[in-house]
C-alpha cells in the first residue's frame, strides 16, 4: 500500500484542516494509507520520510527549521513525491529559499484580494494531469507568483485582470502559471495555485481533478525511480553544502 503524509498548519485563513482532510480523502480513495500531522515534527525523521510515496504540504507562512527542509529535500530527491496547493506549498516559508527552490515558485501578491472572477486556461492538453479538461472559471484569489523557469506549466491565467488596476497592470499582459510540475532529484513535484478556501474545489470541480491527478503523478515517481534504478549519488556531495 502506498503511503502519504500530509502536514498542515500555519495561517488558518487557508483552512488547512479542511483542505488536508479533502486531500486525505482523495488519496484514500486511490488506496493510499494517509497520515495527517498538525506539526512539522513529522519531518524530523528522515528514515520515515524515505518510506513514503508522497508528502503533501498544507502549511501557509510561518517558519521551518532548516534541518526539516533538508530532510524534505533529501526524501524528494530520492524519489518521494511532493505536492501542494495555493499558499499551503508556495507561500509556506517565506524566508526559506531552499523550500522555494524545491517547490518551483513563491507567492508574491493576489491583486484585488479574494472574490476575483478569472479563467484558468489549460495549456498542456496531453499531460495526464490535465488531459481531457477544458478551461474553467474560478472566483477566488488571483495568484501572482515568481516562478522557477524549469517548471512544466500545465495551466495559466491572464494578468493583469481587467477589473484590478494595481501597479503591475502597467506591464504587458502575461500568462501566469496556475499549475505546474517539476523534478527535484529523482522526485516529482506538483503545484496547484488554486485552493484559497476548501470550497474552491467544490465550485470548480476541474481544480479538484487537477489536484488529485497531480498528487497521484507525484506519488508515482518513487516507483519509477526504483524501476529505472535511479540513484541519488550524483546529488549527495552538493546536498551536504545546504
The domain ranges of the chain are 3-106+178-239
pLDDT, position 232: 86
Q: Are 109 and 142 in contact (CB under 8 A)?
A: no
Closest Cα partner for 210 from 129, 120, 124, 119?
A: 129
What is the pTM assigned to this prediction? 0.97
* Residue range 48-64: mean pLDDT, rounded: 98
C-alpha–C-alpha distance, residues 22 and 25, integer Å: 5
**Does residue 238 have a pLDDT over 80?**
no
C-beta atoms surrounding 36 within 10 Å = 18
Place 99 in a pLDDT band, splitting at 50, 70 and 90: very high
pLDDT, position 236: 75
Buried b (16+ CB within 10 A) or exposed e, 72-82: bbbbbbbbbbb
The β-bridge relationship of strands 54-60 and 152-159 is unpaired
Which residues lie closer than 8 Å to 229 by C-beta, 6 or more apart? none
pLDDT, position 240: 63
**Does residue 47 have a pLDDT over 80?**
yes
C-alpha–C-alpha distance, residues 10 and 96, integer Å: 15
Q: Which class is 3-106+178-239 in CATH?
A: alpha beta
pLDDT, position 8: 98
pLDDT, position 168: 95
Amino acid at each position: 500500500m502506498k503511503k502519504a503524509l500530509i502536514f498542515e498548519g500555519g495561517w488558518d485563513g487557508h483552512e488547512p484542516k479542511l483542505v488536508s482532510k479533502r486531500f486525505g480523502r482523495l488519496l484514500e480513495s486511490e488506496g493510499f494509507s494517509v497520515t495527517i500531522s498538525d506539526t512539522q515534527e513529522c519531518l524530523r525523521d528522515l528514515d520515515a520520510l524515505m518510506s513514503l510515496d508522497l508528502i503533501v504540504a498544507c502549511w501557509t507562512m510561518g517558519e521551518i527549521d532548516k534541518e526539516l527542509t533538508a530532510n524534505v529535500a533529501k526524501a524528494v530527491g530520492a524519489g518521494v513525491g511532493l505536492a501542494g496547493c495555493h499558499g499551503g506549498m508556495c507561500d509556506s516559508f517565506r524566508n526559506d529559499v531552499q523550500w522555494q527552490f524545491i517547490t518551483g515558485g513563491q507567492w508574491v501578491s493576489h491583486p484585488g484580494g479574494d472574490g476575483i472572477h478569472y479563467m484558468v486556461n489549460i495549456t498542456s492538453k496531453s499531460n495526464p494531469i490535465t488531459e481531457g479538461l477544458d478551461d474553467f472559471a474560478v472566483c477566488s484569489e488571483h495568484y501572482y507568483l515568481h516562478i522557477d523557469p524549469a517548471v512544466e506549466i500545465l495551466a495559466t491565467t491572464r494578468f493583469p485582470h481587467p477589473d484590478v488596476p494595481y501597479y503591475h497592470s502597467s506591464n504587458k499582459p502575461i500568462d501566469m502559471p496556475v499549475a505546474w510540475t517539476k523534478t527535484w532529484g529523482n522526485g516529482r513535484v506538483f503545484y496547484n495555485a488554486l485552493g484559497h478556501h476548501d470550497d474552491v474545489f467544490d465550485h470548480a470541480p476541474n481544480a479538484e481533478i487537477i489536484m488529485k491527478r497531480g498528487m497521484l503523478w507525484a506519488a508515482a515517481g518513487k516507483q519509477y525511480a526504483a524501476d529505472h534504478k535511479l540513484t541519488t549519488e550524483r546529488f549527495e556531495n552538493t546536498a551536504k553544502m545546504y
